[in-house]
Chains A and B, each alone.
With several copies, the nearest count.
Chain A
Amino acid sequence: MTAIPPVSDSSRPEPRPRQLVINEDQEALRTAVRDLLSDHASWASVLARAETDAPYDISLWERLSHDLGVTGLLIPEEFGGAGGNARDLAVISEQLGAFVAPVPFLGSAVLATAALVAVRSEPVASELLRRLAGGETTATLGISATTVPGGVLSTTVQSVGGLLTGTVTPVVDLAAAEHIIVLTWDEGEPALYAIAPDAATAVVSAITPLDLTRPIGGLELAAAPGRLIVRGDPALAAVATALVTGAAMLAAEQVGVAQWALDTTVAYLKDRHQFGRPIGSFQALKHRMAQVWRRVGLARAAALAAADALAGESDPDEIARVVAVAASYCSETSVFATEEMIQLHGGIGMTWEHPAHLYLGRAKADELILGAPDQHRTRLADLVGLPGS
């Protein structure tokens, strides 16, 4: 039989194909990040740090910031940043995922930064962006970690006369943040404030995380003094932009996690012998790894498309569609790849001293952060006119 290509409907050409291969500058960035992480973020050190009181690798974060400009990448040059775009940031995110590096990248360099860039002309935002760009400080977005992009935003935090009261939990990278960007309800309209942790009024408590490599925390505000960044619709728009940017970067991270799981499992299957053969010569296992590889390839294409949409697309609904596709597909691929890794490593992958569980925990937590796959698909259904009923 002959495989016959489908008849394509050439009457609906795409306006502009997305840029889906990384360029030479991005390739160089990728190599630099990878080299730095190889030198300074071995999984053994990540595991050793996980249960300590210092779950973040601050010196690694400083290197990423100072040597590679990671913290300022998304920040316009006028604020001292590199003026890069989401495609550049995704290159870094993927590598940080591949090393499950314990740095506050998602909270600070993605979520808080994207929110502030969206309202960069506001004085408080400008000031924070300058300090973030230089790596002088670290921030996070004070919003529940599982908020779904594109949904109706809500907050239980009230601000009265610049004093904030309420609870936000769980928040990613809270413990590392000197500034927390909080969405509040302020005399009848939404507003974005910056607050600083404080033992009396803005209490940060650690939450034991499923993902040992990405700390989360709870924030309890009791008349905490905040600095107003912006109020009204721009506040909501800034948070919405941060969420969609975060989901796209998370997708890239998940590709990194999945690729690591694939590479590590393939290597193990070549090495481990049972019944006088490398177990990677057993066809059932080969087919399963081929399926993981196939899905990682699709996930990578989707994550690149999402980053490209953020970088260059002008229609916000189209950005939301492409990001939802990536978030859904990359989440499931990353969980699938790490679960296959655990299974095909047999007993050794079940032990604490093997890194597999760090990646499993990351993959499963990432699946929930910024919306589970089904939630992205539910949102997508609205955006493509395929309602559930």
Chain B
Amino acid sequence: MVDADVRGRIARLVDEYAAGDPSRPPVDRGAFLGSRFDAGLAWVHFPRGLGGLGLPRTAQIAVEGEFARLGAPATAQADNVIGYGMAAPTILEFGTAEQRDTLLRPIFTGEDIWCQLFSEPGAGSDLAAVATRAVRDGDDWVVTGQKVWTSFAHTAKWAILLARTNADVPKHRGLTYFIADMTAPGVEVRPLRQLTGEAEFNEVFFTDVRVPDSARLGDEGNGWAVAQGTLMNERMAIGGGATRESGMLGKLAGLWRDRPELRRPALHDRLMQLWVEAEAYRFSSERQRQQLLAGRPGPDGSGSKVTYAQLNQGSTALELEVLAAEGLHHEDWSLRRPTESNWLAGGATHRYLRTKGNSIEGGTSEILLNVIAERVLGLPREPRTDGSPTGKDVPR
């Protein structure tokens, strides 16, 4: 998958830190990841000098596998999901030279945690209806508004922000995309408790927050297009378990295998249906990867997130039914604020509740089905009743 040169670079780096040697003190993760970035081994499909080597996107899997094999520290992805999955590719595509030079490295090292400020109470599926205003004032923009469903806002240094800079043009055209400093005056973060009891998300209030124009990402009024790129990256990141029986289905299958006393014949075919669909999903994800590698990306990715949500929800629901009496018990309702995402770490009821969000966050399944019907199948759009309303006309 990767050639000897890359393998050599990886081996030298691991050697330099003696990262694979259990007899030595643990390696400083930030320093190691900084060296990975400098060696072009962060995101190998990024350009040289920006953490990459200009390799195909698909080489990344082999690189991570090689680092893991040699015992190197893990990346900061789990702490910095938005930074890795959304901010970095968007900055690479739309950022200025200075933005790319300064922002990418601390994303990879985990020094700068990022969050995303897109959704608002009145702008969910209809994202173009965002009402947060950014008004030009000299070299700055002054931003006021309310954002919601913000993961990592309480740990983030930076945010990617979608705001309205022109209320007099059709609503998709009046938006601009910014990088906002979450430590700036006027930014307030409030935990948003969710149905699992914890507060993985936040509400974020901006009151006259000054954002320099140099922190604009893309042209003024071009925010919708930049955001679409970001969301595409987000949805592509839903990769599906690379291995058989991973994720939620793996938990269910493991329970069935390990606890014979819980098995009920009437549930068996449902288990196997999920097993089969998870395996088809795994093949489909691998097929998409190969299509991308072959330079012929297919449209199947649009359906992946819908499948992923259905599988997760189906598996966790069945898991509770298998558990029966044990399924009545929730581990912990206390208000926690997790700083890393690992939905497999909690109990079965947590999984059941949390995965309800999988068909909502990052684009509802309903919106994705619309996208498939219209963009992939070419079915006619529904008659629009909002015409091309300007930002002012959007109902709140």
Q: Answer whether A and B touch in the complex at a CB cut-off of 8 Å.
A: yes
Q: Please name all residues of chain A whose beta carbon is closer than 8 Å to the beta carbon of B385 when the two chains form the complex.
A: 275-277
**B220 contacts chain A at the CB level, 8 A cutoff:** no
Q: Interface centre among A274, A280, A282, A328, by most B CB within 10 Å?
A: A274
Closest to B396 in A: A273
Chain B positions within 8 Å of A, measured between CB atoms, are 64-65, 68, 78, 81-82, 85-86, 116, 119, 124-126, 129, 148-149, 151, 192-195, 197, 201, 234-235, 237-244, 246-248, 250, 253, 256-257, 260, 263-269, 271-273, 275-277, 279-281, 283-284, 286-287, 289-291, 294, 296, 300, 303, 305-307, 313, 317, 320-321, 324-325, 327-333, 341-344, 349, 352-353, 356-366, 368-370, 372-374, 376-387, 389, 393-395
Contact B276 A325 (CB under 8 A): yes
Contact A8 B242 (CB under 8 A): yes
**A188 contacts chain B at the CB level, 8 A cutoff:** no
A167 CB → nearest B CB, Å = 12
15 contacts between A and B (CB under 8 A): A6-B239, A6-B247, A6-B248, A7-B78, A14-B244, A207-B329, A208-B331, A274-B126, A275-B125, A276-B384, A282-B366, A298-B277, A302-B284, A351-B193, A360-B195
B352 CB → nearest A CB, Å = 7
**A48 contacts chain B at the CB level, 8 A cutoff:** no
CB-CB under 8 A for A209 and B363, given A274-B129, A281-B379, A357-B353: no
Contact A210 B359 (CB under 8 A): no
Q: Please name all residues of chain B whose beta carbon is closer than 8 Å to the beta carbon of A275 when the two chains form the complex.
A: 125-126, 384-386
| Cα A352 to Cα B382 with chains together (Å) | 32
Contact A13 B395 (CB under 8 A): no
CB-CB under 8 A for A289 and B290, given A18-B283, A208-B333, A352-B193: no
Cross-interface CB contact of B241 among A8, A274, A350, A357, cutoff 8 Å = A8
Closest to A326 in B: B280
Contact B266 A378 (CB under 8 A): yes
Q: Please name all residues of chain A whose beta carbon is closer than 8 Å to the beta carbon of B361 when the two chains form the complex.
A: 1-4, 347
CB-CB under 8 A for A145 and B328, given A290-B369, A350-B195: yes
Contact A351 B194 (CB under 8 A): yes
B329 CB → nearest A CB, Å = 5
A17 CB → nearest B CB, Å = 5
| Cα A326 to Cα B149 with chains together (Å) | 38
Cross-interface CB contact of B373 among A17, A216, A286, cutoff 8 Å = A286
Q: Please name all residues of chain A whose beta carbon is closer than 8 Å to the beta carbon of B119 when the two chains form the complex.
A: 1, 347
| Cα A58 to Cα B357 with chains together (Å) | 34
Closest to A207 in B: B329
**A195 contacts chain B at the CB level, 8 A cutoff:** no
| Cα A279 to Cα B361 with chains together (Å) | 18
**A374 contacts chain B at the CB level, 8 A cutoff:** yes
Contact A374 B291 (CB under 8 A): no
Contact B300 A297 (CB under 8 A): yes
Contact A19 B290 (CB under 8 A): yes
Query: Which of A37-45, A134-142, A235-243, A363-371 binds B?
Result: A363-371
Contact B291 A2 (CB under 8 A): no
Cross-interface CB contact of B377 among A12, A13, A293, A386, cutoff 8 Å = A293
Q: Please name all residues of chain B whose beta carbon is closer than 8 Å to the beta carbon of A301 when the two chains form the complex.
A: 280, 283-284, 286-287, 300
Contact A329 B277 (CB under 8 A): yes
| Cα A276 to Cα B370 with chains together (Å) | 16
Contact A20 B287 (CB under 8 A): yes
| Cα A385 to Cα B65 with chains together (Å) | 28
B78 CB → nearest A CB, Å = 7
CB-CB under 8 A for A216 and B328, given A2-B151, A287-B366, A328-B276: yes
CB-CB under 8 A for A270 and B195, given A18-B283, A287-B373, A360-B356: no
**A285 contacts chain B at the CB level, 8 A cutoff:** yes
**A26 contacts chain B at the CB level, 8 A cutoff:** no
Q: Please name all residues of chain B whose beta carbon is closer than 8 Å to the beta carbon of A302 when the two chains form the complex.
A: 279-280, 283-284
Query: Which of A109-117, A125-133, A156-164, A338-346 binds B?
Result: A338-346
Cross-interface CB contact of B362 among A2, A211, A350, A368, cutoff 8 Å = A2
Chain A positions within 8 Å of B, measured between CB atoms, are 1-14, 17-21, 50-51, 144-146, 169-170, 207-212, 216, 266, 269-270, 273-287, 289-291, 293-294, 297-302, 304-305, 322, 324-326, 328-329, 335, 339, 342-343, 346-347, 349-353, 356-357, 360-361, 364-365, 367-369, 372, 374-375, 377-378, 380-381, 384-389
Contact B266 A350 (CB under 8 A): no
Contact B333 A294 (CB under 8 A): no
CB-CB under 8 A for A1 and B353, given A280-B379, A375-B266: no
Closest to B323 in A: A368
Contact A146 B324 (CB under 8 A): yes
| Cα A279 to Cα B277 with chains together (Å) | 30
CB-CB under 8 A for A270 and B380, given A1-B362, A287-B369, A301-B286: yes
Contact B330 A209 (CB under 8 A): yes
Contact A212 B280 (CB under 8 A): no
| Cα A287 to Cα B386 with chains together (Å) | 21
Q: Given contacts A350-B357, A361-B353, list 19 more A-B pairs with CB under 8 A.
A: A1-B360, A3-B237, A6-B248, A8-B239, A17-B286, A21-B296, A145-B328, A170-B325, A210-B328, A210-B329, A266-B378, A274-B124, A276-B385, A280-B379, A322-B279, A329-B276, A350-B360, A356-B195, A365-B328
Contact A14 B243 (CB under 8 A): yes
Q: What are the nearest 3 A-B pairs in CB distance?
A: A276-B386, A3-B362, A1-B361
Closest to B118 in A: A2
B39 CB → nearest A CB, Å = 21
Contact B324 A372 (CB under 8 A): yes
Contact A367 B321 (CB under 8 A): yes
Contact A343 B360 (CB under 8 A): yes
Q: Please name all residues of chain A whose beta carbon is closer than 8 Å to the beta carbon of B242 when the two chains form the complex.
A: 8, 10, 13-14
Cross-interface CB contact of B328 among A9, A13, A170, cutoff 8 Å = A170
Cross-interface CB contact of B65 among A10, A339, A346, A360, cutoff 8 Å = A10
B113 CB → nearest A CB, Å = 13
CB-CB under 8 A for A10 and B280, given A20-B286, A210-B328, A347-B360: no
Q: Please name all residues of chain B whose beta carbon is closer than 8 Å to the beta carbon of A304 when the two chains form the complex.
A: 283, 287
Contact B235 A3 (CB under 8 A): yes
Q: Please name all residues of chain B whose beta carbon is closer than 8 Å to the beta carbon of A279 when the two chains form the complex.
A: 125
Contact A343 B234 (CB under 8 A): no
